[in-house]
Structure formats: structure tokens, C-alpha cells
Chains A and B, each alone.
Chain A
Amino acid sequence: MIDDSWRFCINAHNRFSGRRSAERDRRRLIGNRVTGGESRPAGSGEGSRLVAVLELTNISKHFGAIQAVNDVSFTLEAGQVVGLMGDNGAGKSTLVKMIAGNFRPSEGTMRLEGKEIVMHRPVEARQHGIEIVHQDLALCNNLTAAANVFLGRELRRGIGPFRILDYKTMYRRAGEIFKELKSETRPRDLVKQMSGGQRQAVAIGRTMLSEAKIVLMDEPTAAISVRQVAEVLNLIRELRDRGISVVLISHRMPDVFTVADRVIVMRRGRKVADKAIAASSPEEVTGLITGAIEQV
């Protein structure tokens, strides 16, 4: 029953993207469920009551003489969607790659749930519960949805070295994940035959295998049709509702303003804005990206 009403809210919301009240109500409802009674208003000044999952302090990264990221600090909170915006070369990708373990910061510290972490490889980030959904999704078209979800983390059964793939459990688990994501994706179908939204669900499904704390999404809506964008935004909401903090890199202003709670704008390697979506506007963000507005 509740699922249905939520779904309706999402649909209604997508249809009238100007109306945010239904969305807010829904979020409060979920907030109650996730945090156990404590009401959780979206974004804004009360954000300090939320748990900081990841804390970046004075992070910088330079490649030789090029300063890609310059003295950036921010915190990610559980169950929050943060839109990371900026022009090409603003340092968004570099920043995200540092969080995902692809690069090591030149300066600054990262704290995961209060503990300082230093990562050398993407695998370590994964072990810390940081998952990334790549821009190109990194899917194998010739494999099934379930095989793609479990790629690199296959479940096996058997004894010792004689272990075979556990198809049954993988299909079942993948099915459960797609159900949680409310995506009509069949685990046994080849990814080749899938729509953009379904492919996105498969890529996001990977992040749900482990207890991810942070999911980084690189341009998830860049290469898909308008109709499928709504589907992907719903997937992002599902992640948030599970208490995962999502970093959404996007060029598409409407997507960020539809789904994000907070927006961070980068320009020339610096953070020029970090504020609640409700307190900002697409015009302001555009100004920040282009440099018409210096800093907020």
C-alpha cells in the first residue's frame, strides 16, 4: 500500500516538476522510517543533525603544474543526494575519482564515518562501502543482467577449489535488487536487449550488493532518452531512501533540481557554492558555473 502511494507521488512529481510539496512529505515519511522516529527535514540548516558519512577537508589535487582540485572541503550525509555541478574541467571528475580511490589527493584528508582513510586502488574504496556508477555504466552486453550485477563478485557454491557459479542465488538476489529499485528488469535478460533505464538499474544494482554507504554517479542521465531519465531519478531516490548518500555529477540542471537535496558547484578546481537546493535556483547555479557569480 505504502509503496503504491510513494510511487504515485514520484509519478505525480515527475509530471509536475514544479511541485515539490508532495516530494517533501514523502521524504519526511521515509526519514521517519530510516532514522527511527527522528524527523529529517530535507537539506537546509538542520542538516547538522544528520550523520556525516564522508568528510573531505582541504582536499587538493595537482597533476604537475595543473591544479585540478584546489582546497575543497565538504561533508556527505547519510540519505542525502548531493548534486555536483560544474563546467568541463572544473574538477568534478577529479574530485569524484579521489573519493572512488582512482587518484590520491595531493593534500588534505578524507574521513569516512570519523576515521581517516587513505586509498590506493578502487577496490579499497569498494571495501570501505564507496561505490561508483561509471558514466558508460561498464556493462557487458553479452551477459545477463544478473551476471552484470555480480561481475567481479560472483557467488559460488561448492567446497574448496571445486566451486561453481551459483546461478540460482544470483538470479534471486538480482531479482530482489531490481524489485527494491522498483525497476522492471529481468535478471535473466541479456543487457544487450535492455532500455537505457534498465541498463542504469543494472549498473546501480551493483552498488547494492554490498552495504554501500556512498554511491557516486557520473552523468547517469547523459546518454538516455527523456522518458528514461525519470526512471533513473527514481532509482536515485531508492538509493537515498535506503540511507545511502548519493553524489550525482550532472550537466543537466533539471535533474539536479528534481532529485538533489544539496548542490555543490565547482569552478576552476574550487568549490564556489554548497547550499540546499531549496535555497538556490537554476539561474544562480548557472551563474556560478559560468563565473557570472563569483562565490556564494
Chain B
Amino acid sequence: MAVTLDQTIAQKQRSRLAEFVGGQTFWVLIAVLLACLFLSFATDSFATSKNLYNITRNVTFVAIIALGMTLVIITGGIDLSVGSVLCLCSMVLAVTMNAGYSIEVGITAAIVTALVIGAFNGVLIAYLNFPPFVVTLGMLSIARSLAMVASNNTVVFQFGPDHDKLLALGGGAWFFGIANPVLYMVILALITGFVLRWTRFGRYVFAIGGNEHAATLTGVPVRTIKVAVYMISALSAGIAGIVQTGWLGAVTTNIGAGMELQVIAAAVIGGANLAGGVGTAFGALVGAALIEVIRNSLGLLGINAFWQGTFIGGAIVLAVLFDRIRNLRQSE
């Protein structure tokens, strides 16, 4: 009797590999790979190094923010302000450097801006129990407006004494010809993945999304964690803004407009559940990649660009549909 109990308790129901293969992220990854395979045969221009370089680089801005967004979504929240925060941080960086300050000062100012905005969102949500949707919707409007105030709604393309450094930071390829933004994305994804799986903070993020009440009762510092999560989300938008500024070489007040929806789409396609409790860093990257491949392929295949929204929207619904079907089967 005791032996069977031992065996039962020690039994692993499913290996981690099996779990991964059964998950939504895996199927989206397969879809991305199949699409790439198909495109490299169907078109001459897809599998060129220039196009792949472009794709990987375009993915990064959405992917970096999707990493932060994934944390927010895992806690059961949402952050609609990321596009505007990206714009504001880019603008703070641009204006500071334009005024003659060094790149270090500019980046510090941009990151502090991001953290302050994230803390503001987080405190309102965690301590005053505002719905995340409302607070971040307000911030979406506020941050973009502040960016316009900061720049007087002009385009900034002169970055003072460290102009070249900033362009190299965003537009260079310091490591084996891989575009710098891609490097940043990979590093940030590894950090996010590590934090989610191996730290107590990551565990608490999942616990809050799973059952916030239970987390509170068991002594998880729910409010602190929530504030931190919104700060990380804003920080990821700020980092993406800094990198994007270096890559574009100019900042306007309409960059990042509508980006929050792409970012949320990437996170959701990659397996994050808007109800909270589920999501991975790798999923965020895969989701962002699928969106970019769809966009790129439509152009290459000569399909009217107006169709883009339909395909991306279809991908969102399809990805979640797979998950629904799997859940239905499990519950039966």
C-alpha cells in the first residue's frame, strides 16, 4: 500500500517536453516555421539575408514590449499605454540629447520617465484598485500628449554630441552581423524567461494571475508585485523606444501609435491568457514573429496591404481557438 502511494506521488504526469508540444506556443511556432518554409519556396525575395535581417529587426520592437506585456497579462492585467510610453521615452531621449547632453544622460532620463509612468499606473491599479484598462487608457492619452509638449510636436533628428553613438546603438550590428535590436531582444527574453521560471518574483506573478485572493491570504506581497509588473512593462516600452530611436534616427510624436494592440496581439498569439495566470517569454517572441512574418509575406506575395489586418486578426482568433479546443477536450 505504502509503496503504491510512494509511486503515485513520485510520478510525473507529463514531461516538460510533452507539455511544450501540447501548448499553444508550439503550434504558433510551427505555423511561423511553415510560413517561412513556404515563403522561401514561393518567393525569391523572402530567404534573402537582407529580408531576413529586416524581419528580425522589425520583430524586435513589438517583441521587447510584448515581454513586459506578458508579465502584466500573467497577473491578469493589461497595459494599453505602452505605445504612448514608447513615444514619450523616445522623445525624452531625443530632446535631452538634442539639448546637448550625453547619451548616458539621455538614456537615464528616458528610463526614469518610463519607470515613473509605470509606477504611477501600478500604484493606481494596486493600491487604489483602479481597473488596469482605465488607468492605462488614461496614460495612453497622457503620455502621447506629454511627448507633444516636450517636443512642441516637431520631428527631432539631431541628437547633439553623441548623435553617432545613438545611431550605432540602435542601427549597428556588433555581434556576427546580427542587428543590435535583435541582440537586445534575445537578452531581454532570456532574462524574462529566467525571472518567470526561477525567481520568487516570477512565481508570485503567476500566483496573482491564478488567484489574487489566495495570493494575498498566503502572504504574497500582491500590491508591490503589481506595481513592479507595470513598471517593468513601461520599462520595456522605454527600452524599445530608445532602441527604435537609434534605429530610425528620428523621432516624431506619432511613433508607436496603435502599437499596444500589436503587442497585446503578440502576447496572446504566443499563449498568454488575458484572464491571467498563463504566459511565457518565448511565447511573446513567437507571437511577435508570427505577426511580422504575416506582414512581410503579404508584401512579398503581392497581396494588397489592406488585407494585413484580416490576416493578423485571423491569427489571433485561430491561435486562441486551438487553446480553447484543447481545454474543451481536457474538461470532458
Interface residues of A in 168-185 (CB under 8 A from B): 175, 178-179, 182, 184-185
Report whether A186 and B214 are in contact in the complex, using a CB–CB cutoff of 8 Å. Answer: no
Interface residues of A in 147-186 (CB under 8 A from B): 147, 151-154, 156, 163-165, 175, 178-179, 182, 184-186
Report whether B277 and A151 are in contact in the complex, using a CB–CB cutoff of 8 Å. Answer: no
Total A-B Cβ pairs within 8 A: 87
Task: Please choose the segment from A22-30, A133-141, A248-256, A283-291 that sits at the chain B interface, where 4 or more of its residues have CB less than 8 A away.
Answer: A133-141
Q: Contact partner of A139 among B13, B197, B211, CB < 8 A?
A: B211
B278 within 8 A of partner (CB): yes
Report whether B199 and A151 are in contact in the complex, using a CB–CB cutoff of 8 Å. Answer: no
Report whether B199 and A140 are in contact in the complex, using a CB–CB cutoff of 8 Å. Answer: no
Contacts of A185 in B (CB 8 A): 9
Q: Distance (Å) between the CB of A148 and the closest chain B CB?
A: 8
Q: Contact partner of B213 among A3, A138, A154, A206, CB < 8 A?
A: A138
Report whether B219 and A152 are in contact in the complex, using a CB–CB cutoff of 8 Å. Answer: yes
Contacts of A195 in B (CB 8 A): none
B172 within 8 A of partner (CB): no
Least CB separation from A141: chain B residue: B210
A7 within 8 A of partner (CB): yes
Bound together, the chains give a CA A151 to CA B206 distance in angstroms of 11
Least CB separation from A151: chain B residue: B218
A123 within 8 A of partner (CB): yes
Q: Contact partner of B1 among A4, A134, A137, A164, CB < 8 A?
A: A4
A229 within 8 A of partner (CB): no
Report whether B200 and A165 are in contact in the complex, using a CB–CB cutoff of 8 Å. Answer: yes
Report whether A141 and B203 are in contact in the complex, using a CB–CB cutoff of 8 Å. Answer: no
- How many chain B residues touch A (CB < 8 A): the figure is 30
Q: Contact partner of A138 among B12, B200, B217, CB < 8 A?
A: B217
- How many chain A residues touch B (CB < 8 A): the figure is 36
Contacts of A179 in B (CB 8 A): 5-6, 9
The interface bits of chain B over 1-45 (1 if a CB of A lies within 8 angstroms of the residue's CB, else 0) are 110011011111100000000000000000000000000000000
A interface, by DSSP: helix, strand, loop or mixed?
loop
Q: Distance (Å) between the CB of A137 and the closest chain B CB?
A: 8
B94 within 8 A of partner (CB): no
Contacts of B8 in A (CB 8 A): 184, 186
B83 within 8 A of partner (CB): no
Question: Are A178 and B9 CB-contacts (below 8 A) given A7-B1, A143-B207?
Answer: yes
Q: Distance (Å) between the CB of A58 and the closest chain B CB?
A: 29
Contacts of B2 in A (CB 8 A): 3-4
Contacts of A138 in B (CB 8 A): 211, 213-214, 217-218
B241 within 8 A of partner (CB): no
Bound together, the chains give a CA A65 to CA B268 distance in angstroms of 51
Q: Contact partner of A186 among B11, B199, B210, B218, CB < 8 A?
A: B11
Residues on A lying within 8 angstroms of B by beta carbon are: 3-4, 7, 122-123, 126, 134, 136-143, 147, 151-154, 156, 163-165, 175, 178-179, 182, 184-189, 193, 206
Residues on B lying within 8 angstroms of A by beta carbon are: 1-2, 5-6, 8-13, 197-200, 203, 206-207, 209-211, 213-215, 217-220, 277-278, 330
For the complex of A and B, the 10 pairs showing the least CB-CB separation, nearest first, are: A140-B210, A142-B277, A138-B214, A152-B219, A152-B218, A142-B210, A164-B198, A138-B217, A151-B218, A140-B211
